[in-house]
Chain A
Amino acid sequence: MFLYYVRLSMLSYKRNPVLSTLMVLAVAVGVGAYMVIFTLNYFMGGDPIPQKSGQLFHLQLDYGNPAIPDTSNQPQMAYVDTLALLDAPFAYAHSASSKFMAVLEPSNPDLSPFFVDGRGNTADFFTMFDVPFEFGGGWDRAADDTQQQVIVLSQDLNLRLFGGENSVGRDVELQGIHFTVVGVLDYWEPAPKFFDENNGAFNRAEEAYIPWSLIVGQQLRRSGNTNCWEPPKDSSFESFLNAECAWIQFWVELPTPDDQQIYADYLASYVAQERAAGRMQIPIEKRLFNVREWMAKREVQPDETRILSALAAMLLAVCLLNTVGLLLSKFLGKAAEIGVRQALGAHKGALFRQHVIEAGFLGAIGGVLGLGVASLGLEGVKILMGGERVNNEWMHLDLTVAAITIALAVISTIIAGLYPIWRACNVNPAIHLKAE
């Protein structure tokens, strides 16, 4: 019966091609536009590390200068606290990291020196964040302590320097310092870049990773945001390190609620001790944020996509209102046919099913076209946003989004069709038989 109704729907489409095509286009445009924005929101508001997002916690401390309200609520951590917390008496995995820039002098004479966007991080960074490796691996905590000159390359940088081959054990010269490659990453571009949203939530991941202790040990050129709420005593590097300046991202992995409680208590006592010493005078209530909480608090989802999702919903509404009107015209135009079918013994239920399937059929075609509209729209957004610094590889239709698009088209067309269908099923057969 279903296939018979689908065939009837196709016949009906052919009989009224202009009206039907208008309807399909309205659905395609409405659903397509909505899905462009849906995709942006789905990824930008999404969970970049779903398997662990409830166990990874970003730390925030009671920073700020009480005299200057704007300085509270610092997202990053100061050096002295980072050292203290890396030394905390727990076995939990934890990661301190910050950005640096360095000149890379390739051993290959065909390549000229270039700047590398790098990250200094402690050993647990790779395991905590499930960073995928193509070759080799990270380093251990001992390498952090002894400032071993080891380096992990991104897939791209490895391609550029070593043609993509296994470069573990090779030498890389950064800022005149020789590093030994211990690992090469697989493709890794989390979006949002949750582990350092403060320096561009959708910026590309760094190209090189080295033990974080080297940033201070070798006084590498730090990049990324630095915020101070007390000026350093003088211009020396030592004073900067000891100053109330935040520039480090600190994460800890706390698998169970008990662990979270233990760590929160520990943080509270640490803060209390610092407060007694005259620091941390602006109390905050919450110091541990899991990935989702942190993304929400930092509002990584841009206003633009949130505004656009409201506008896209209205665009979809207009398209569906249009569809209601067009379906009404179409179904009422079929009054004679419906009259005949009724006279020949079709139940209202059967007529209802037939027209629901007809509406769904139009919706499905609209949905497929809508996929085209959506992918065109996403390509357009990609071009508008530019992909140099910003990671836009996630801007595509995946299977989930494609399935949602078709489902949205079918369901919304059927909903839009309910009233026209009801009207069509309540045609008085006698009148139309007479008119024929």
Chain B
Amino acid sequence: MRIKTAGWDARYFQMTFQLIFLSYGFLWLHWNTELISGLIFITSGFVFQYIADVLFIKKNALAIRNKNNWQSVLVSCLSLCLLLKTNGWFICVLASAITIFSKYIFRIRGKHIFNPSALGIAATVYLTGNAWISPAQWGSSIVLLFAITCLGCIVVTKVQKLDVTLAFTGTYAALLFARQVLYQGWPLDFFMQSVTTGSLLLFSFFMISDPKTTPDHPAVRIIWAMAVALISFYLTAFKFVNGAPIWVLVCSQPFVPLLDLLFKAKRFEWKTPSVEKKFSIINSTIKPSNNYH
């Protein structure tokens, strides 16, 4: 059984949008150093994926090697390219390693716990102290344009589910609006600048919405996204934490398996041709999944 989405893999859509966003950075905003670190993220990502395939999959008797893993690797690595800034190539390699291996190491009941790129970013920033996130690197006006286009594309093509994205963005924006405009009395453009940051856009469309690391139950999923938004808002507005949503997401994800256990529901699987052929029904929440995304 599979949650109904569009007829094709959402990761192609994500990849396209991430590539457009990235090319905008390279061509218009002249991100020159990011080109090299971007190449390192992607190359090392694929190398680590190969190593992980060799190390982990052969040991697992139930495993069927998924040939279509490259979409997940590319989407995760592009997220790193777009969000993470580092002091050196070895930090990039470390971030890729955490991103890729986290999917194999942190697993409960066949589902990986953390969103790979969110964990990769958070762990690299926290552990090395040599990486950081630049939330404003796209400027404000273009982000709004991208957000609207992105939302439009999803609505028209139904390529991925919007429930988590809308629940998170809606709650977060509503709370910011209530505080900044209604309570503090700042003009509307002050609020617009707060919500149109590139990192927030990428986070809400491509990170928190990852169906593999959100609760299976639809209602629980929405409440969970709203809770992430609430805590992120608190940390941003009152504690002045930069990049709060990513930290909150990573900290909240260990609770997702617990929520899945309490509120049982059908599990999401990427719709990829190879998976379809080899096993089409994954209905059990107890049996380990073979799909290493």
Are A and B interaction partners?
no
